[in-house]
């Protein structure tokens, strides 16, 4: 499934595939310790950011564990707000996963909820997925709040689930079924 057709808009953002000329804004986002704190990658230098930006331009969701990333652009300022990612975790079981990364200048404005709601619409309405999950570092209370505001259900707290950046960390898992999505709309 080609993803270009899923670019779109929310009230305050344009969501579109990354392009090579997004590099400076991408590096500004991915090169920050406060952004990568709870994410499964280290703060990226220029070389690592170039490689990541190239990977983020992959636009197919056809086989298990492929993911696509949409750059979120603030409609008012034209700045990169962050990115929203959708993974196809299982074709057979119609399962997906969402994630998001926002620049600190845009934290606390409801944009993570707004962009994630767009992804859930893609996952359930266009891709016809049955279940979508989100997995977060349990210390990331702001992200847990985003997922709850989306209407996702907290399903699990996994104690010392992963060795993450040199320490054992807990994971919180959230999920939503297509039937729950339909009830929310």
Report field, pTM of the whole predicted structure over 0.85: yes
Domain of 24, CATH number, reads 3.40.630.30
Specify the pLDDT at position 5: 63
Rounded-to-integer distance, Cα 41 and Cα 143, Å = 17
| Structure confidence at residue 63 (pLDDT) | 84
Say how far apart CA 80 and CA 107 lie, in whole Å. 12
Structural domain harbouring 146: 4-184
Residue 67: the pLDDT is 87
Ramachandran area for residue 141 (φ above 0: left; ψ -120 to 50: alpha; else beta):
alpha
Report the DSSP pairing between strands 153-164 and 66-74: unpaired
CA nearest neighbour of 66 among 32, 91, 36: 91
Are 103 and 13 in contact by the 8 Å Cβ rule? The answer is no
Split into its structural domains, the chain has a count of 1
Per-residue pLDDT of the chain (185 residues; tens, 9 = 90+): 555 567 899 999 999 999 999 999 999 999 999 999 998 888 999 998 999 898 888 777 788 888 889 999 999 999 999 999 999 999 999 999 999 999 999 999 999 999 999 999 999 999 999 999 999 999 999 999 999 999 999 999 999 999 999 999 999 999 999 999 999 98
Q: Residue 132 has which token pair?
A: 């979508």
Res 91: pLDDT: 93
């Amino acid at each position: 499934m080609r993803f270009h057709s899923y670019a779109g808009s929310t009230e305050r953002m344009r969501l579109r595939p990354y392009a090579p000329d997004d590099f400076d804004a991408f590096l500004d986002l991915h090169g920050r310790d406060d952004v990568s704190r709870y994410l499964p990658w280290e703060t990226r230098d220029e070389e690592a950011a170039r490689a990541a930006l190239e990977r983020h331009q992959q636009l197919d969701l056809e086989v298990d564990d492929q993911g696509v990333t949409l750059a979120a652009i603030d409609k008012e300022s034209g700045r990169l707000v962050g990115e929203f990612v959708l993974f196809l975790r299982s074709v057979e079981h119609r399962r997906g996963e969402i994630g998001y990364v926002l620049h600190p200048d845009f934290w606390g404005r409801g944009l993570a909820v707004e962009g994630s709601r767009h992804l859930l619409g893609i996952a359930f309405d266009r891709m016809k997925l049955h279940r979508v999950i989100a997995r977060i570092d349990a210390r990331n209370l702001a992200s847990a709040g985003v997922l709850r505001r989306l209407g996702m259900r907290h399903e699990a707290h996994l104690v010392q689930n992963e060795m993450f950046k040199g320490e054992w960390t807990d994971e919180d898992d959230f999920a939503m079924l297509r039937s729950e999505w339909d009830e929310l709309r």
